[in-house]
Structure 1
């Protein structure tokens, strides 16, 4: 029995630890799902006036602004399997009360990059956003071609001469100028806890199987 004791204890302890990690991930999944539902509810809430001093703590706050684009814009490289390659159009925007902010108007395909988009009057419902997309490996924007590889609110605001405030359009009244709005969505927020839980549970099964195999080998050798 002594020969079986150590591998049995090791096996049971390993399975218990791996199962506890799996159940912890399930609890994290429940928490993350509730958090995402709360974020989505906030995104879809009735819009309000643009705050006097927007800050990152107001991320996803629904707002409504009216005014006109100013002409200057930055094009952020993007696209999807459905839309193909193209750009997000982020325009300098002057509100009716004289504030200058940035508006992410939406997506254009590659072929529309050089299309004329003169200043236009718009009323926009959208969400404040401070995307965290730049990393140490993100290339610097190509200012000559006006191609950006990630959204960087302070840097874009400096280039466009606006407040460091980005409104991502959800609904636009006025001439879209061939731009398709791309609203803020929770789809890009990772929620992989179920996959992690299954990984821990499968490791527990493998650990238990290896323990049983080791004990069977010890038993065979004892005869």
Structure 2
């Protein structure tokens, strides 16, 4: 009876673990399709800045704008493989059409934080974005030192007196001195479903092996007892 219970319990546990692995494989295909759609949208032909915005529909939309930065800056703490610790430079941007939005020009090393870059007229190719970088653990910005810990578009727009719109620059003409463009890619979007699937399938294999080993030991022990 104990052997039967062991085998039944082992089979049920393996079935559950395999089903979780298969579910993660399905999630992997779903996430890959989403990433492909995002990559296609990011690299599409740019359009003028739309008159109105829908965050869900317009996120990642490529745009081309012309206008002037004002010389004001907000600095968002960031770390990249290319530059190490640094700051994203968020500036108010007054378009030639008379609108005032924000542009993420890119990243500067920490030692380039001051003085701010002078305002200049430029053409910007970039993507609309409303980053979701804040949660209840995100510290409040240190406004006196101009250090922000996330790109909080509504709060930044209120601070800079702009529309709640952010264009992340892929390229500026002319280039902004000492600023390295940090365009939107899908690299920062997590896709760990393959690792999860491997974990569940590995646990299923371990569980199956342990069940088989214990069943053989119990069967051998029963034969010795009966003999």
Q: TM-score, normalization: structure 2?
A: 0.94
Unmatched segments (≥5 aa) in structure 1: none
Which residue in 2 is equivalent to 1:155? Answer: 155
Deviations 1:187-218 (A, max 9, x none): 00000010000000111011112211221232
Q: Provide Cα deviations, 1:117-156, integer angstroms capped at 9, x if missing partner.
A: 1110010111110111111111111111111011100000
Output the CA distance in 2 between the equivalents of 1:153 and 1:106: 16
1-structure distance, mates of 2:142, 2:26:
44
Matched, 1:178 2:174: no
Q: Within 5 Å, which residues of 2 pair with 1:175-214?
A: 175-214=175-214
User: Residues 18 and 73 of structure 1: is their aligned pair in 2 closer, same or farther, counting only changes over 3 Å?
Assistant: same
Describe the superposition over 1:145-197 as per-residue Cα deviations: whole angstroms up to 9, x where unpaired.
11101110000001111000000001111141221110001000000010000
Determine if contact 2:72/2:92 at 8 Å carries over to the other structure.
yes
Q: Provide the C-alpha distance between the structure 1 equivalents of 2:71 and 2:172, rounded to a whole number of angstroms.
A: 17
- Kindly report which structure 2 residues correspond to 1:1-223, keeping only aligned pairs within 5 A, or say none: 2-57=1-56, 58-222=58-222, 223=224
CA offsets, 1:91-140, max 9 Å, x none? 00000010000000001011111034111001011111011111111111
Unaligned runs of 5+ in 2: none
TM-score by length of 1: 0.96
Contact 2:90 2:102 in 1 (8 A): yes
SS across alignment from 1:188: coil
Higher strand proportion: 1
CA RMSD in angstroms, aligned pairs only = 1.2
Give the 3 Å change call, closer, same or farther, for CA 11–116 of structure 1 in structure 2: closer
